[in-house]
Amino acid sequence: MLSSIDLHTYLLFVTAAMALVLTPGPDTVFVLTQGVSAGKRGGLASAFGVSTGVLVHTSAAALGLAALLRASALAYATVKYAGAAYLLYLGAKTLWRGDDFELSDGTGSVAAPDSDLRSSYLRGVTVNVLNPKVALFFLAFLPQFVGAGAGGGAGTPTAEMLALGGTYAVLTACYLGTVGLLSGGVRTAFRTRPRLADGLRWVSGSVLVGLGAALALESR
């Protein structure tokens, strides 16, 4: 799929994508809080979930579905408030369920059950997919690098957008995966300090609530 995109254009895209990925935003904050609350594996799972959400948005942009959010105020508002409500739910759950921060063993490692890892992954997917601003971003960003190669032809724009979106998802996974692992290390370091762990729980929950409120109050 990348054969129709010349190397210069692709490297330009990678450079721009890396600059955007490395800019802290809601996804970074979300993975950070998940790493703190669920440990390294949970943070990594949520990072992969967000990256999967990037692929969903890329597919929507390539198929024209993202254009619906730009054209319809009702569709945009529906997705936005659903995303805000979900973030508020996650924040409230973190604040009122202190057991989420209990470590499962005393070895210094966090052993997260597979079900918890699936939950962290699905949270990452849901939080990213239910952010309409991300959908509009990919709708505006990806086409700028499509059709610049020498092999352009019928049907290639969609394939090029999917390939570029896949690259963006990989870069996102590498960066957010690192964030998840590092934030999970903070949780492990505080395993013998219950008061600090409780403080982290309140900070994480409050941040998630703040993200939800910010999304709900954002103008289109």
pLDDT tens for each residue of 24-81: 888 998 998 888 878 889 999 999 999 999 999 999 998 888 888 888 888 899 999 9
Q: How far is CA 124 from CA 79, 85, 207, in A?
A: 16, 15, 15
pLDDT at 104: 43
Q: What are phi and psi of 105, to 5 degrees?
A: -150, 175
Q: How many CB atoms lie within 10 A of CB 63?
A: 12
**Whether pLDDT at 105 is above 50:** no
Q: What are phi and psi of 25, to 5 degrees?
A: -150, -170
Residue 49 neighbours by CB under 8 Å, 6+ apart: 120, 121, 122, 123, 124, 125, 126, 127, 128
**Whether pLDDT at 18 is above 90:** yes
The confidence band for 129, taking pLDDT boundaries of 50, 70 and 90, is very high
Q: Are 213 and 81 within 8 A, CB to CB?
A: no
Q: Are 43 and 34 within 8 A, CB to CB?
A: yes
* 2 or 161: which leads in pLDDT: 161
Residue 67 neighbours by CB under 8 Å, 6+ apart: 139
**H-helix segments, the chain:** 7-21, 26-63, 66-71, 73-96, 114-129, 132-141, 156-189, 194-217
* 62 or 203: which leads in pLDDT: 62
Q: Which amino acid is at 216?
A: A
**Mean pLDDT estimate for the chain:** 82
Residue 173 tokens read as 């996974």
Q: For residue 109, give the DSSP letter.
A: S
Write out pLDDT tens, residues 165-179: 999 999 999 999 999
Q: Which amino acid is at 109?
A: S
Residue 31 tokens read as 């993975």
**Whether pLDDT at 95 is above 70:** yes
